Amino acid sequence: MKLIILAAWKWTRLKPFTNTTQKSLIKIFWKTIIEYNLENFYNSVDEIIIVVKYLKEKIVEYLWNNYKWTKITYHIQREKKWTAAALFWIKTNSDVFIIYWDSIFEKKDLDKIIKLKWYGVLVKEVKTPEKYWIFKIDKTNKILEVVEKPKKFIGNLANLWWFKLNSKIFEYIKEIKISQRLEYELTCAISKFAKQNILKAIKIEWEFIDVWSPWDILSANKYFTDNIKKSSIKWFLENNVQIKWNVIIEKWTILKSWTYIEWNVYIWKNSSIWPNIYIRNNTVIWNNCKIWNAVEIKNSSIWDNTNIAHLSYLWDSIIWNNVNIWWWFISANLKHDWSNIKVMIKWQLIDSWLRKLWCIIWDNVKTWINTSTYPWRIIENNTFTMPSEIIK
């Protein structure tokens, strides 16, 4: 049995993160998206094949450093476009799992397809089937037909793009024709597979995490921090540190006196939290960070090697790597009229359905004293702000 992970595309909806980071390497809670998928299937396959293209060298480097004893083969997607093209030149006689890299599922749901006797695809019931690829099934859950955005009701089981198939799928991929969107679509091959093989629709029972948009990073972190059931403090706390609810603090992280942590929070390794710090509401802080005196952080994701200086306030924000935030930085997260915050994605203004949204600070940014931001603002990588600058 082989696992094929499709991780070749850029995913422009997640800009600016995917300008420098492959989507599969975005960190959620305490590991990257691709690691959740690897670890769920690790003991069920004899080889892992990862289809790469965009920023392929970063995926290879990361997995070599962290999974060097795992048998991983890399396959570079060529010039053909879209889902089926990613599998066009792969050859194997083995049964395969084919999964997309951008979703995180509960292990209980994945076990259903891993242990399935025949072949299958994960599906979810949806309220608006006209927006999805929908499977028509019989009474035994056998898939009869796959229809994209059906105009007439044929069912409400939407394709989640996680498959267990046999090697015939690669023959069907070779036979499909380019679609009206000028793409080679895997669903065309899946439709043919379903007509000639037993392909079951496996309905998931638990929630899954889809990181489609920048604000999904924070909601994904919230999912995992909300499920911290017990505190785990592996290093040093000075006197008068106050911790409410459940937190995880990894090795070599020091919390100094009068730090106050409220609600579930995760702090990774080698960080230093100075006195009089208030950290709350599902914040995740990664490696080698330094949070200085009198800082408040709420519902934020802070990546490696970041310094946040005195009297700064970060709410609902994402801070990338190697950022230096100087004194009195304030991120506004709420519009004066309390309306939903709209975000420009792929040249369209998208309603986030959130009233509170953050700023994004990209790699290698340095803000000077008293910098502040309007809601949903991006500070591009390698930027230096001026004293008292307002990012409008």
Q: Which residues are catalytic?
A: 310
- Measure Cα distances from 372 to 294, 297, 388 in Å: 17, 15, 7
Q: Count the Cβ atoms, other than its own, within 10 Å of residue 204.
A: 19
- Hey, CA dihedral for 212, 215, 219, 224, is it positive or negative? positive
What three-state secondary structure class fits 29?
coil
Q: Which residue, 280, 367, 307, 364, is CA-closest to 331?
A: 367
What are the phi and psi torsion angles at 137 (to 5°)? -125, 165
Strands 157-165 and 133-137: antiparallel
Name residue 254's beta-bridge partners. 236, 272
End-to-end CA distance of the chain: 53
The C-alpha angle with vertex 216 and arms to 225 and 336, in degrees rounded to 5, equals 100
Angle between helix axes 186-196 and 168-175 (nearest 10 degrees) is 120
The per-residue DSSP string of 51-112 comes to EE-TTHHHHHHHHHHH-TTS-EEEEE--SS-STGGGGTT---SS-EEEEETTEE--HHHHHH
The C-alpha angle with vertex 318 and arms to 392 and 54, in degrees rounded to 5, equals 105
Task: Sort 16 into a burial class: Cβ within 10 Å, 0-12 / 13-18 / 19+.
Answer: middle
What three-state secondary structure class fits 159?
strand
Specify the DSSP element, H or E, that contains 47. strand 47-52
Residue 371 contacts by C-beta under 8 Å, 6 or more apart in sequence?
A: 325, 326, 328, 329, 330, 385, 386, 387, 388, 389, 390, 391
